A and B are shown apart, each in its own frame.
Chain A
Amino acid sequence: MIKEQKRLAEGLSVTSKVFVRSRNGSAMKIVREHYLRDDIPCYSLACSECLDIVKPDARGETPKFILSSKPTKCNSATNGHYLVVDTNIILHAIDLLEGDLGFYDVIIPQTVLEEVKNRSIPIYHRLRALVRKETKRFVVFHNEYSEDTYVSRLSNESINDRNDRAIRKTAKWYQKHLESKNIDIVFLCNDNDNRFKAKKENIDARSLIEYIDDLPNADELRDLVPADMTSFDELHSSDIMFPEYYSNARIMAGVKNGTVFQGILNISQHNILQGQVNVAQFKKPLLLMGSKNLNRAFNSDAVFVELLPKNQWKEFSYTIVEEDALGGENPDDENIVEPVISDKERQLLAQEAIKETAANRKDDSDKRLQPTARIVGIQRRSWRYYVGQIDPSSVDEAGNAVRDCFVILMDKQLPRIKIRTRKAAELVGQRIVVVVDQWTTTSRFPHGHFVRALGPIESPEAETEALLLEHDVEYRPFSKNVLDCLPKEGDDWKVPEDPNDPSMVGRVDLRDKLVCSIDPPSCVDIDDALHAKRLSNGNFEVGVHIADVTHFVKPGTALDAEGASRGTSVYLVDKRIDMLPMLLGTNLCSLKPYVDRFAFSVIWELDSGANIVDVKFMKSIIRSREAFSYERAQERIDDKSDNDELTNSMRILLDLSQKLKQQRVDNGALNLASPEVKVYVDSETSDPNEVEIKKPFATNSLVEEFMLLANISVARKIYEAFPQTAMLRRHASPPSTNFEELNDMLSVRKPGMAISLESSKALADSLDRCEDGNDPYFNTLLRIMSTRCMMAAEYFASGMYGRSEFRHYGLAVDIYTHFTSPIRRYCDVVAHRQLAAAIGYETLDLSHRDKGKMELIVKNINKRHRNAQFAGRASIEYYVGQVMRNNESEHEGYVIKCFNNGIVVLVPKFGVEGLIKLDTIGDVATAEFDEEKYELHFTDFSGTRRKVGVFDRVQVDVKSIKDEVSGKRKAQLLLK
C-alpha cells in the first residue's frame, strides 16, 4: 500500500510503503520510505541526454554506458534492438543468456532482478556476474526508483500483476526514450497473459522461441532452449512413476513432531538404487532402497525422509547395480502395498529406530537390519552442470529432426538425463555439458537440455575440461579486473632499494641469512624456504620463510575475491589451475634463488632436543641462496666431502627435523597411507608412459616437519590474538562406527589383529602391530583402508568450536592451521593477514574479524579443497588408464570388498581399484556369499571351485577398456 507522494526537491520525491504483517499472532506495521528520482540513466551509448544526469557513487565512479549504439538486428526488423527480459526467462534460460551466441544488449529491470533473487540466489549471482562482465552488455535499470517508471499497486491488484505492470512500464519507457535513436525494444516474456497485455500497450513482446526463430543463427540456439519450455510429448499424466512430494506445510509439521527428518542423500558407490541419509537423530544412517523410495532425488541433495514400517526394514544390499545394467525397466520391488500408518505410529517407529541404531545388538539375525526410509520432499537440489555423453543406443537414425535421447553422466551415482536435440547424431562420441531442468512425477528420467560440447571423448583437452567441470573447479583465465590488481611493473617488479619505501617499513632485513628452498623437481611456485644457524649458547636458530603473498593480494580487491572463490590451486597430471595469477605464483611471490623477495618469516630458537625456546614472527626481505630439489638436497647432505656453510645448515635442519618427527610420533601422530602414484608424461607427445609409486626422501620430511612446526606456532599466535575468528584447521577423531566394519573384517579374516581407537597413539601403535609375516604389503593395505575410515580434516574459524575440539587427530597436535603455502591455498592467505595483524604490522580487514564472514570463507575453502583433491585423483585415474592401455599385464592385487555378485580389488602398482563382476570370472548361479566371513565361493569357467575373501592376495590381469556406455576408460581387472 502506498501513501501520498511528496515532492522534496527537483527530481526527488518520496513515498512510503506500508505493510501490515502478522507474526506470532500479533500485528506488525512496517513503514518504509521509498525515494523516487529522475537521475537514473538509460545506459545507452546512443543516448546523449542521460550523460548529463549521472551522479558518482560512493567510490567517486560514474556509471558506464555500455548498451551498444548499434545493437543486433532481428531478421524481420530494420532497426537494431535492446532486450527487456522478464523473470521467467532468466530463471529458465540463464545458460542461454550467458552464452556467446546471442543475447547482447539486455536490460534487466530492477523488479525482475529482485524477483530472481527471491526465487534463486545462485541464478541471481550469475546474473550479477553477467552485468559485471560488461562484454555481454547487460545492464540493471532501477525502475522502482525512477520517477518515470515507478508504479504503485492498485487496490485490488496482486503483487505479481503489479510487478508485471512495472516491467511493462520499463519496456515502454525505454521504447519512448530511444525512439528517435532508431533502436527498438523487444520485451522477452514466456508468460502468455503478460505478453498479451504488453502487445495491447504496443510493446514488441515475444516468447523466447519466437525471438530465437527470428534471429539469423536460430538453428544454433534452438537446441539450447531449456526443456520445460518445449514440452515433452510423451508426458501422459496418467502414468505416475513417482509419488508426489509432500506439501511444505506437511513437511514442516512432520519435522516438528518428529516423523519427518532431514539430511543429505548419499547414493551408494556401487548401487544407484540404494542411498543413505545421515540424520542427526539417529546414530546410523537411514537406508533408502529402490527408485520409488529415492523418489527423484539426486546424490547429495538435501532431502526430507520418512521412516518405513518395520517389516520393510532391510539389510544393506551387497549387490552391485549400475545405471547401465538397469536398461529401460527398473528391477524394483514396486508392488509392495503400503499400509496406511498414522503420525502416532510413525513417532513410535522413530523411537524404535533410535533404539535400533544406538544399541550394540547381540541378536545375530537382527544384526544387519537397518531402518529404511523414503524421500517425501527435497529441501535443496544439488543440480549443477553435468558432463556426460549421449547414449549411442538411444540415437537410432541420423538426420536433423528433433528427438529425445539419453545422456549418461560421468558421475556413476546419477541417473541418465533425457534431453531433446536435433544434433544428437553429431554429438555421439563427444563429451557434452548438460543441465537438469526438472523431474516430474510422470517421468522415469530427469529432463534437461544440452549446453555445449567439450570435444571428442578421450581427447586430453575434453577430458581435462570435463574433469574440472565435474568437480566445479573454476578454470577460466583470470579476468581483466583481477589482472589489473597486479603490480604495474609486471615481471620487472623488484624489492625497492630505498629502505624508506612504504612497503619496506616494518620489514626486517634477513638477506644475510643463508636461506635455501627444497621442493619437488621442476617446482616453479616456491612458497617456502628455510635457514638454520648454530647460536653461541649451543641452541639453534631456525627460520621458515614463506612467500609474502598478502603484500600483493590486498583484501577487498578483485584479486582477493577471485582467490577466495577459487580457494586453492588444483594440480592435475598435465595441468595446474592456479589460485592466483601466474605472475604472482611463479615469479613475484615465488622465493626464487639469487633474488630479493618479500617473505613472512617465523624464526625459532630451538634447543638441541628441538624444543622451542623462543619464537618470533616478522615480515622480512630474504635472498634465497639456492633452490634444491629433494633429491639434490639429499645428495648434498650425504656427500661427506661437502662442508660449506649451506650444506652444514641443511644438516642441522635434517637433524632437528628427525627429532621433531620423533616427538610427533611419540605423541601419536598417524602414519597413514594412500595409494598415491605419479604419472610421467612424455614431454614431446604428452602421452603418459610410466606410472610410479611416489618415493619419499629424508629431505621431504625435513621440509614437512618445519612446515608443521610453523603452522602450529602460527596457529597459537593467531588464536591468541583473535579468539573468535582465527583461521584454523582441525581433524576430528573418527567415530568408532567408522571402524566397525574394518575391525569386524580383521577379526574374521586376520584373527588376533584389531585396530584400537582409544587415542591416536593407540591407533598408530595398533596399526604398527598389524603385520602379516608373509605379506609385507598387508600393513600398507590396512593403512590405506584405515585412511578411508577417518574423518576429513577441515578448516574452521576458532569461534565455531570449543577449544577442546581444535585438535588435529592425525598430526596429534592441539591446534593447527595452514600458513605455509599462501600461493596455492586461500586459508594461508587469511592466516598471513591475521598473523600480520597479531604482530601489529597492519590492521586486519573487517572480513577476517567478522564471525559470519569467516564462516562463509571457511565453508567455501573446505568445499574447494575437497573438490581439488577429487579432481587431482580423477586426473591420475584417467592417465593411469591411458598408461595401461599400452601395457597390459598381470599384477598382484588385494581384495578389499566382497559383494554377492562381485569383488573389489586394489592393484598397488597402479594405485587403482576395480570391480570384478562375478559374471566375468565364473558362473553366477554357483556363487555363495558368506557375509559373516566376507568370502565369496564360486565355480570358475574351468569348473574349479574357488573362494576369495577380503584381504586375499590375488593375481589379476590388468587392462584398460573403454566403457562403451559412459565413454570412460577404466581399468578392467580379470581374476587369474
Chain B
Amino acid sequence: MELYSPEGLRLDGRRWNELRRFECHINTHPNSADGSSYVEQGNTKVVCLVQGPMEPKQSSQSNECTIEVNVNVTNFSTFERRKRGKSDRQVQELVTTLERTFDQSIMTHLYPRTLIKLDLTVLAQDGGLLGTLVNAMTLALIDAGIAMYDYISAVSAGLQDTNVLLDLNNLEEKDMSGLTVGVIGTSEKLALLMLENKMPVDRLESVLALAIVGSHRIRELMDQEVRRHGNDRLRKRNEM
C-alpha cells in the first residue's frame, strides 16, 4: 500500500499537512450532564459528558480534587464487532493518559474535595482516537464551566519513510510510527506526548513541529464553536 504517493497525495486524497474533516458541537446534552460535547475527526466520533464538580461518593480524606475518566468503546465502533470489557488494557491505558493530562490542565486547587467525572463514548474509530478524546474533553469541560488554564487541543502526526504526515487515519496509523501531542492553548507547551512505537531521534522534531501546528488549527476550530455557542446563549438570554 502506498501511504504517500510520489505526487504527494495520501490514501484518502489529503496532502501531507492537511487535517481530516473536523466538526465539533458543544452542549449537546444540556439536560443529562453539566457539560457535554460531540467531536468528529474524520470518521472518529466521540461524545463526552461531564459531571461535577460534585461531592465524592465515599467522602475521602484527601483535600484534592479527583478527576475520574471513563472511556466506553462501543462494540460497533470498529469495523468488526468486538466486545471490550472495562478492563481492556488499551482502554485502561487511555484512561490513565487522559487523567494525567487533565490533572495538570484543570485548576484543581479551585475545587478541593470534589469529584469531576468525565464519561467518554467512542461511537466510531478511524485512527487518532486519543487526540479526539482530548478535544472532546476540553470542549465538555469548557461547557461545564470548569476552570482550565487554556485549551488542550490534540492531534496525531507520523513519519512515513522520511515524510511527515498530519492526522493519521486508521490505515496510516497501522503502518507508520506516529505520535499524539496535546498542546496548551496557542503556546508550544505540551500537556501530552504519546509515542507508542519507535521513531528516529533526528526526525522527531519535524514530526512534533507538524503536530503542534495541527493542534493550533484544531484549537481555532474549537474556539470558533465555543464562541458561536456563547453568542447563541447570549442572544437567547437577551431575547427573553
Contact = CB atoms under 8 A, between A and B. Distances in A.
Interface-centre pick from B8, B163, B198, B200 (highest chain A CB count, 10 A): B8
Contacts of B9: 142, 145
Interface in B146-169: 161-165, 169
Given A35-B14, A57-B16, A849-B198, A128 B161 contact: no
Nearest to B20: A33
A380 interface: no
A142 B12 contact: no
Contact of B43 (A31, A35, A128, A131): A31
A131 B6 contact: yes
Given A33-B12, A849-B198, A59 B124 contact: no
A57 B12 contact: no
Interface in A828-859: 843, 845-846, 849
Contacts of B164: 58
A14 interface: yes
A30 B79 contact: yes
Contacts of A31: 43, 79, 124, 126
A349 B232 CA distance: 81
Interface in A18-48: 23, 26, 28-37
Given A31-B79, A31-B126, A58-B16, A63 B165 contact: no
A840 to B, nearest CB: 13
Given A14-B21, A57-B16, A843-B201, A33 B126 contact: yes
B43 A59 contact: no
B202 A843 contact: yes
A31 B171 CA distance: 11
Contacts of B202: 843
B176 to A, nearest CB: 11
Contacts of A55: 8, 15
A6 B20 CA distance: 13
A26 B82 CA distance: 11
A58 B42 CA distance: 21
Interface string B158-195: 00011111000101000000000000000000000000
Given A35-B12, A843-B202, A845-B200, A26 B81 contact: yes
B239 interface: no
Contact of A59 (B13, B163, B169, B171): B163
A860 interface: no
A63 B13 contact: no
Given A28-B79, A33-B20, A58 B4 contact: yes
Given A14-B21, A33-B42, A145-B13, A57 B8 contact: yes
A132 interface: yes
Interface string A142-172: 1011000000000000000000000000000
Interface string B38-74: 0000110000000000000000000000000000000
Contacts of B162: 59, 556
A974 interface: no
Most chain B CB inside 10 Å of its own CB: which residue of A26, A145, A556: A145
B205 interface: no
Contacts of B18: 35
A33 B169 contact: yes
A32 B17 CA distance: 19
B8 A58 contact: yes
Contact of A140 (B5, B43, B163): B5
B80 interface: yes
Interface string B76-87: 000111000000
A151 to B, nearest CB: 14
A63 B14 CA distance: 16
Given A16-B43, A26-B80, A843-B200, A132 B12 contact: no
A56 B17 CA distance: 10
A77 interface: no
B200 A846 contact: yes
B6 A128 contact: yes
B7 interface: yes
Nearest to A150: B13
Nearest to B177: A846
Nearest to B124: A31
A846 B198 contact: yes
A8 interface: yes
B200 A57 contact: no
Contacts of B16: 57-58
A52 B161 CA distance: 29
Contacts of B8: 55-58, 63
A36 B13 contact: yes
Contacts of A145: 9, 13
A23 B82 CA distance: 14
Interface in A60-108: 63
Given A59-B162, A140-B7, A843-B202, A33 B21 contact: yes
A6 B13 contact: no
Contacts of A142: 5, 7, 9, 13
Interface string B118-156: 000000101000000000000000000000000000000
Contacts of B42: 33
A144 B7 CA distance: 13
B161 A556 contact: yes
Nearest to B200: A846
A8 B198 contact: no
Nearest to B17: A58
Nearest to B164: A58
B88 to A, nearest CB: 20
A57 to B, nearest CB: 3
Contacts of A556: 161-162
B207 to A, nearest CB: 11
A912 to B, nearest CB: 48
Contacts of A6: 21
Contacts of B161: 556
Contacts of B43: 16, 31-33
B75 to A, nearest CB: 12
Nearest to A29: B79
B2 to A, nearest CB: 8
Contacts of A131: 6
Nearest to B199: A846
A36 B21 CA distance: 12
A849 B198 CA distance: 10
Give the top 5 A-B pairs by smallest Cβ distance, nearest first.
A57-B8, A35-B13, A145-B13, A58-B16, A58-B163
Given A31-B43, A34-B13, A57-B16, 14 more contacts: A23-B80, A26-B80, A31-B124, A32-B126, A33-B20, A33-B21, A36-B13, A57-B8, A63-B8, A131-B6, A140-B6, A142-B7, A556-B161, A843-B201
23 contacts: A8-B21, A26-B80, A26-B81, A28-B79, A28-B80, A31-B79, A32-B12, A32-B43, A32-B126, A32-B169, A32-B171, A33-B21, A33-B43, A33-B169, A35-B18, A55-B8, A55-B15, A58-B4, A63-B8, A128-B6, A140-B5, A145-B13, A845-B200
